[in-house]
């Protein structure tokens, strides 16, 4: 019989290194408790590096789902992800807004978030769009699909993202580019069936150091309670956490959304009225998913200035991105800036550059 090599022995015994973390986490039904942030970070790093076995990794995340992840533990898991990120440097001092919704996508409504980010970039913001591809459990359509439906090759490679962020103020990336170890857990996530802390923590991790964060969530509780402290623990200077359409990167325009501005000093509820912004209310029923061709036609119509709920949603979400980068200007003024980027054709020019591969290339 062939004897195992030293490397094979190390891999086969990696479970022993991870065992203490499971023991600490799974004490019993009456004593379940969060790991401290350091242990949560270390455990996540061991999972990403393949030291923990698939059974251990699944146990770690499913126990966390059953008990709930507090802000310290959530921040620790996010720090574990951050420790392996390949950073994308953004030259200059102007803020970069990292936009993230559910990486597992949408099923029932159009994806307007990507175009909102494009419009914000055309209006002067610097935006990096973070999105997944075929992420469990939903496996829905993401902003990257919306870009591809518009004739853009996405996501960008690492070098393309760096260049286009510098030249055009826009980048579109997925974890397979900036965190391939996380992307490598997709099959494990399928087998776990349920969402876990990974579905939350991945949205808190930006490959652009120091970026401000715009994070869409599905459920108000518990995430509007845990995310702010987790973001502060991660050192995020300014963030907007909001209840989104299908948990995406799109804030709804029907007065149903909860918007929370997160800073080092504390949290602030943001109240908005569509009418005060010169926009109409847009319900989910007014932006249904009716196929790729219909979505592309709808988005292109809005970029051409076609009035209606899709354009209003795009302008509102573009304005939120602009406001997160420039808090000195009112949200209403940012809506006007976004509208101007559409009416002057600046947003369409950026889209055309991307189609030619000037801003977004194959990856």
pLDDT in tens, 149-199: 999 989 999 999 999 999 999 999 999 999 999 999 999 999 999 999 999
DSSP state string for 258-303: -EEEEETTEEEEE---GGGGT---B-GGGSB---HHHHHHHHHHHH
> In this structure, are residues 74 and 105 in contact, taking their beta carbons and an 8 Å threshold?
no
DSSP state string for 13-43: THHHHHHHHHHHH-S-TTS--PPPHHHHHHH
pLDDT at res. 138: 87
Neighbours of 72 (CB within 10 A): 18
Residues 258-316 have pLDDT tens digits of 799 999 999 999 988 899 999 999 989 999 999 999 999 999 999 999 999 999 999 99
Q: Cα(304)–Cα(313) distance, rounded to whole angstroms?
A: 14
> In this structure, are residues 230 and 204 in contact, taking their beta carbons and an 8 Å threshold?
yes
Mean pLDDT on 145-152 = 95
pLDDT at res. 13: 79
Mean pLDDT on 74-92 = 96
What are the chain's domains? 6-68 (no CATH), 97-355 (3.40.1030.10)
Average pLDDT of the chain?
Answer: 92
> In this structure, are residues 149 and 295 in contact, taking their beta carbons and an 8 Å threshold?
yes
> In this structure, are residues 112 and 118 in contact, taking their beta carbons and an 8 Å threshold?
no
Structure tokens at 121: 């970039």
pLDDT at res. 221: 76
Parallel/antiparallel/unpaired status of strands 212-217 and 97-100: parallel
Q: Cα(150)–Cα(300) distance, rounded to whole angstroms?
A: 8
Give SS3 for 215.
Answer: strand
Least Cα distance to 39 among 64, 58, 62 occurs for: 64
Q: Cα(244)–Cα(218) distance, rounded to whole angstroms?
A: 6
> In this structure, are residues 248 and 217 in contact, taking their beta carbons and an 8 Å threshold?
no
Q: What are phi and psi of 258, to 5 degrees?
A: -100, 120
Q: What is the H or E stretch that residue 120 is in?
A: helix 113-122
Residue length, the chain? 363
């Amino acid at each position: 019989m062939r004897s195992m090599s030293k490397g094979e022995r190390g891999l086969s015994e990696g479970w022993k290194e991870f065992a203490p973390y499971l023991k600490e986490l799974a004490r019993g039904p009456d004593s379940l408790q969060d790991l401290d942030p350091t242990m949560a970070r270390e455990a996540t790093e061991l999972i990403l590096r393949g030291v923990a076995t698939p059974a251990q990794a699944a146990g770690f995340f499913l126990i966390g789902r059953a008990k709930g992840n507090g802000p310290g533990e959530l921040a620790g898991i996010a720090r574990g992800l951050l420790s392996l990120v390949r950073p994308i440097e953004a030259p200059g001092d102007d803020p970069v807004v990292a936009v993230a919704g559910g990486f597992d996508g949408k099923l029932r409504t159009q994806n307007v978030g990507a175009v909102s980010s494009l419009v914000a970039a055309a209006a002067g913001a610097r935006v990096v769009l973070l999105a997944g591809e075929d992420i469990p459990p939903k496996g829905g359509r993401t902003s990257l699909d919306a870009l591809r439906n518009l004739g853009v090759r996405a996501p960008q490679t690492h070098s393309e993202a760096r260049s286009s962020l510098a030249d055009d103020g826009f980048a579109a990336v997925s974890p397979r580019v900036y965190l391939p170890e996380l992307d490598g857990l997709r099959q494990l996530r399928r087998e776990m069936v349920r969402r876990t802390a990974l579905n939350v923590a991945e949205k808190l991790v930006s490959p652009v150091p120091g970026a401000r964060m715009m994070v869409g969530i599905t459920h108000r509780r518990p995430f509007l309670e845990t995310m702010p402290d987790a973001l502060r623990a991660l050192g995020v200077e300014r963030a907007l956490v909001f209840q989104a359409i299908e948990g995406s990167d799109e804030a709804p325009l029907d007065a149903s959304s909860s918007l929370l501005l997160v800073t080092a000093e504390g949290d602030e509820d943001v109240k908005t009225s569509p009418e005060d912004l010169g926009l109409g209310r847009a319900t989910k029923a007014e932006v249904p998913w009716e196929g790729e061709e219909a979505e592309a036609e709808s988005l292109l119509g809005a970029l051409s200035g076609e009035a209606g709920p899709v354009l209003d949603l795009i302008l509102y979400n573009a304005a939120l991105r602009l406001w997160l980068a420039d808090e000195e200007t009112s949200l209403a003024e940012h809506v006007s800036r976004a509208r101007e980027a559409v009416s002057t054709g600046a947003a369409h020019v950026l889209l055309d550059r991307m189609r030619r591969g000037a801003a977004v290339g194959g990856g």
